[in-house]
Each structure stands twice: as structure tokens, then as C-alpha cells.
Structure 1
Amino acid sequence: MNRFNVKKLGFAFGLTGALIYIGCMIVMATAGQEGTISFFNSLLHGLDTTNIIRMDVPLLEAFFGIVQTFIIGWLIGACIGAFYNAQIKVKK
């Protein structure tokens, strides 16, 4: 069995999370409040997001959100890679 490179898998997860976060920012910037609510209501199987959608997010807060999402994604990917590698039987 092949082993995962833990750092590379973590980076892939982190970058994917950051891209999804940026996609969310693009939806919010282009669709407006009603379009954003409609998009996320349909994405979340009808969950009403009207009360939790906030359109006045400061740029610095959005930047920190991207960074935090990347870090959490990296940690999740690294853990998955490490746990997977730990389960592989080593041939001798």
C-alpha cells in the first residue's frame, strides 16, 4: 500500500477549504443579500439562513477567516494522512 505525504495532504485540504471560503466571498459579493440567502438556503437543504447571513464583513475579518480555514483544513488533512499511514501494515 502507498503511504500519504502528511504535509502535502494537509496542504491540499487547507487550500481546498480556502478556495471554498473564497467562493463563498464571491457569491456574497455578486449575488447580494437576497441571492446569498437563496443560494445558501438551497445548498443547506432548506435551512433558513436569513438570520445568520451577515453582508457587512470587514476585509480584515475575511482575511483572517481564510487563514483560519486554511489552518483547520491543513490540520484535518494532516490528521487523516497520519491516521491512514498508521493503519498500513509494513512489509518486512
Structure 2
Amino acid sequence: MYRLNVKKLGFAFGLTGALIYLGCMIVMATAGQEGSITFFNSLLHGLDTTSIIRMDVPLLEVLMGIVQTFILWWLIGACIGAFYNTQIKIKIKK
């Protein structure tokens, strides 16, 4: 079986999470508040996001959010890779 590189998988997950975060930023910047509410309500199977979407997010909060998202998803990817690797039975060649 192939063993996963835990750090690289974590990095791939982290970048993917950051890319999704950037996608949300682009939706909010281009669609406006009403368009964002419609988009996220559709995406979240009708969950009403009206009361939680705010458009006046400070730049520092945005930067901290993308860093936190990267770290969280890096940890998730690294855990998946580590858990996967611990389940592999290595055959010893003689």
C-alpha cells in the first residue's frame, strides 16, 4: 500500500480550505448582501443565513480568518493522512 505524506496532504487540505474561503469572499464582494444571502441559503439547503451574514468585515478579521482556516484544514488533512498511514500493514520483503 502507498503511504501518504502527512505534511503534504495537510498542506493540500489547507490550501483547499483557503481557496474556499477566498471563494466566499469573492461571492460576497460581487453579489452584495442580498445575493450572498440567496447564494448561501441555496448552498446550505435552505438554512436562513440572513441574520449571520455581515458585509462590513474588517481587513484584519479577514486575514485572521484565512490564516485560521488554513491551519484548521491543515490539521484535518494531516490527521487524515496520519490515521490512514497507521492502518496500512507493511509487508516486509525478505
In structure 2, what is the equivalent of residue 88 of structure 1?
A: 88
CA root-mean-square deviation = 0.3
Partner SS, residue 35 of structure 2: helix
Deviation at 1:25, TM superposition (A): 0.3
Aligned length: 92
Structure 2 distance, partners of 1:56, 1:44, is 22
In structure 1, what is the equivalent of residue 17 of structure 2?
A: 17
Query: Identity percentage over the alignment?
Result: 85
Deviation at 1:91, TM superposition (A): 0.5
Deviation at 1:82, TM superposition (A): 0.3
Gap runs ≥5 in structure 1: none
The reply on whether 1:28 has 2:28 as its aligned counterpart is yes
Deviation at 1:80, TM superposition (A): 0.2
Residue identity in the other structure for 2:32: G
Structure 2 distance, partners of 1:21, 1:59, is 14
Gap runs ≥5 in structure 2: none
TM-score (norm 2): 0.97
